[in-house]
Amino acid sequence: MTTNALKVTLLDTATGEPREAELLSSITETQLTDVEGEWKPALYDRFREFKRAGKPPAAWPGAENRHWDWRQKVEMLQGLLSHDGYCLTCQGMTEGLMLIDTSSYRCRLPENEKRNLVYIDYVENAPWNRPELKQAPRYRGIGSILVGAAIERSIAEEFKGRIGLHALPQAEAFYSATCGMTDLGPDTAKQGLRYYEMTAAQAEAFIAKGKNR
Amino acid sequence: MSTHMTKEWCLRMAELEGDASIAAGALALDPVFEEAPDVTDTDEANVAFGRFVRLMRRSQKMSREKLAEDADIDIKELIEIEDDVRHKPDVRSVYQISGVFKLPSAKLMQVAGLAKARNDNIERHMERFAARSDPMADLTDEERAALEDFVARLSSDN
Amino acid sequence: MATKRTMTLNLTDAEMSVVEDFSARKDMSKTAVMRQALRLYQLLEARVEKGDKLYVENEVTKDKAEIMMV
């Protein structure tokens, strides 16, 4: 994987000021260490607070995955042309991560059936940016920048901006409303997560949204 | 990367995005955190962990203040780790301590009872280590040997 | 995007017509088709190297056939 840094901007919610960030087309050991040493402990702290508040495990806002081995997944994909990682860092900390697959998935929308697309295998922001954990996120704009990066990649691969993904329940509103993707319903092959797809026209509209004042 | 993502674009999108969740893909599901196991299990794990931290610290001639500072953890947390067998340490504390002692964090998580051991070996070595060491006395030759043996087990692949 | 390098590819008429056909059907340039093919080839090779077998399944009949990768 080659690393190209792109300067982007996040909104710091504490100050309301723009904050310069970097988008890199790679996931390196630094990110793995951030996930294991910062993200996971931060998430565990939220989990403990949640427990202390006497709430039942079923009420945890994020669904859980028994086979959570981030490092193994990322290492497995190293060196494959079909898969790529992206990360968004701000002030030396990993704030958002994305893994994409440019080969294994095809469009499901009838109008684009079987055309190639960039499939977002995984996208997430750091626990302190997750509103469903009952806190004010530190930064805003991470999702849009990562989706924007996936669209740009899709255009570069001549897939015309077409992308697809399986959204977690708490993120469905973002992908349908803000991103304007088409909801193709729950997918039993992906733990019942709903599948969303973006056409070339929707990708264009998404990018245009950020240009309209 | 050529880009449409100018500063203005990013800020406008941040405004539209608001406080939205963005997680997608099964890998974004949260890990399952094991709740504190039964008290009996926890006791065993933490006898070994607290004792281990204390002996490692002393073998490296570190004060509690120094270790807490190097590991960037609260001194109170360190005291609880070393002295209170029922204390369940923070994942972050264990991770930070593993960094200071240059040991694999995943193994230390198992010793601390925060992760399930993949095989019985760690547990067996933990029991042996706990039996062979006494945290109150000075570090004897036997204790040093027990400590070194345990460190070697933690650093090995299995 | 990473910097790209150029190479000349010598293809037979039959091979070239396959590339052209894909290019037309997928609405992609011939370069994009070849890059996609390489990604897929590497992905499959990696699985086969690991000892996995490669199958195709008929969606209707559920018939499975193994694809031999050499």
Mean pLDDT of A173-177: 97
Q: pLDDT digit string (tens) for A45-96?
A: 888 888 888 887 777 877 776 666 778 888 888 889 999 999 999 999 999 9
Measured between beta carbons, the chain A residues lying within 8 angstroms of B12 are 209-213
Q: Most A CBs within 10 Å: which of B30, B77, B94, as the mutation test of the A interface? A: B30
Q: pLDDT digit string (tens) for A91-117?
A: 999 999 999 999 999 999 999 988 999
User: Which domains can be identified in chain A, with CATH numbers?
Assistant: 5-211 (3.40.630.30)
Would you kindly state where each structural domain of chain C is located, as residue ranges? 16-67
Measured between beta carbons, the chain B residues lying within 8 angstroms of A167 are 23-24
Say if A2 is an interface residue toward chain C (CB within 8 Å): yes
The pLDDT value given to residue A66: 62
From the list C1, C29, C42, the residue facing A82 with the nearest CB is: C42
Q: Most C CBs within 10 Å: which of A78, A102, A103, as the mutation test of the C interface? A: A103
Say if A112 is an interface residue toward chain C (CB within 8 Å): no
Could you give the residue ranges of the DSSP H alpha helices within chain A?
Answer: 29-34, 40-52, 70-77, 142-156, 172-173, 200-209
C42 contacts A157? CB cut-off 8 A: no
Residue B110, burial from CB neighbour count under 10 angstroms (0-12, 13-18, 19+): buried
Q: Is the pLDDT of residue A210 over 70?
A: yes
**Portion of chain B with pLDDT greater than 90, in percent:** 14
**Chain A partners (3+ C-beta pairs within 8 A):** B, C
Q: pLDDT tier at B149 (50, 70, 90 boundaries)?
A: confident
Query: Would you say B13 and A156 are in contact if contact means Cβ atoms under 8 Å apart?
Result: no
Q: Is the pLDDT of residue A155 over 90?
A: yes
Mean pLDDT of A191-199: 94
What is the pTM for the complete model shown? 0.72
Mean pLDDT of A179-203: 95
Q: Is the pLDDT of residue B118 over 60?
A: no
Q: Return phi, psi of residue A125, to 5°.
A: -110, 165
Say whether the ipTM exceeds 0.85.
Answer: yes
Query: Would you say A127 and A173 are in contact if contact means Cβ atoms under 8 Å apart?
Result: no
Q: pLDDT tier at B41 (50, 70, 90 boundaries)?
A: very low
Query: Would you say C30 and C19 are in contact if contact means Cβ atoms under 8 Å apart?
Result: yes
From the list B28, B30, B96, the residue facing A122 with the nearest CB is: B28
Q: How far apart are CA A200 and CA A179, in angstroms?
A: 12
The pLDDT value given to residue C70: 60
From the list A2, A81, A160, the residue facing C38 with the nearest CB is: A81
